[in-house]
Amino acid sequence: MDFFYDLTIIIPVFNEEKTIDKTIEILFEKIKNQDKKVQVIVIDDGSKDETKNILKEKTQDNFLFLFHNKNQGKGSAIRTGLNYVKGKYIVIQDADLEYDPKDIFKMLEKIENENLKVLFGSRLLNKENKKGRGDYLWGGKLVTFFTNILYGQKLTDEPTCYKMFLSEELLKMPLKCKRFEFCPEVTAYISKAGNKIKEIPISYYPRTKDQGKKIAWHDGVEALWTLIKLKFKKVPFSKKDF
């Protein structure tokens, strides 16, 4: 497969009318100041607010805007975006401004310089970050703990949004995710392929449920079930494929 960009940033969006304009503006400015060729794929996942109308007015170069007719879930939106990837590396960017896009290029530099197949951005490794709500924080730590036990990793922040992959590796994965189980699914597959996942500190600006945070306790349960299920499931690839 030919890659025309250094990096593809995939942004799944659902009902983010308050932040999506600024998210795209910040990304556009960050990209302009880089010497890297960057593709941005934005997928509106059937938003019911003004998000879709805002996106339909965008015409930035190297930005691709896709639209689901109905809400299917974050994982489904990401999988739609993967069909259009033209970057050597892939990273996911949420549309809610909890993460700082400047960290993407710090991650890109590290993954290129160290010739890595995968790199996670850890919120917990940056001691200056504010802590999110207690149940979110401890739920994430629990998922991370079970990831390390089941897959022999030494992660501090498995549920982080900023997961960067060599595109060839991510595109090989038989992803089935529909909602937030994208994170444990890709973590399980990359681990079963024999990769030790490195992390790098990133910035984090947590928002509350009232501000639009969508993840809930049952998503943590689903993440744990996904990790357990894939640990003992035969997958259609071998370590030599990665």
Q: How does pLDDT run across 176-187, given as a tens digit for each residue?
A: 999 889 999 999
DSSP state, 131?
P
DSSP collapsed to 3 states, 93-114: CCCCCCCCCHHHHHHHHHHHHC
Give which of 177, 159, 214 is closest to 79, Cα–Cα.
177
* Percentage of residues of the chain with pLDDT beyond 70: 88
Considering only CA atoms, give the Rg of the chain: 17
Q: Does an H or E element contain 63, and which?
A: strand 63-68
What does the longest C-alpha to C-alpha distance in the chain come to? Answer: 47
Specify the pairing of strand 87-92 against strand 163-166: antiparallel
What is the full DSSP assignment across 164-228? EEEHHHHTTS-----STTHHHHHHHHHHHTTPPPEEEE-------TTTT----HHHHHHHHHHHH
pLDDT at 173 over 70: yes
Instruction: Give all domains of the chain, ordered by start, each with its CATH number.
Output: 5-241 (3.90.550.10)
> Residue 90: beta bridge partners?
8, 165
Grade residue 71 by pLDDT with cuts at 50, 70 and 90: very high
How do residues 5-36 score in pLDDT, each as one tens digit?
999 999 999 999 999 999 999 999 999 888 99
Grade residue 210 by pLDDT with cuts at 50, 70 and 90: low
Whether 191 contacts 153, CB under 8 Å: yes
pLDDT at 86 over 60: yes
Grade residue 199 by pLDDT with cuts at 50, 70 and 90: very high
How many angstroms separate the CA atoms of 188 and 153, rounded?
10
pLDDT at residue 241 in the model? 53
Grade residue 233 by pLDDT with cuts at 50, 70 and 90: confident
Give which of 232, 86, 231 is closest to 171, Cα–Cα.
86
Q: What is the pTM of this model?
A: 0.90
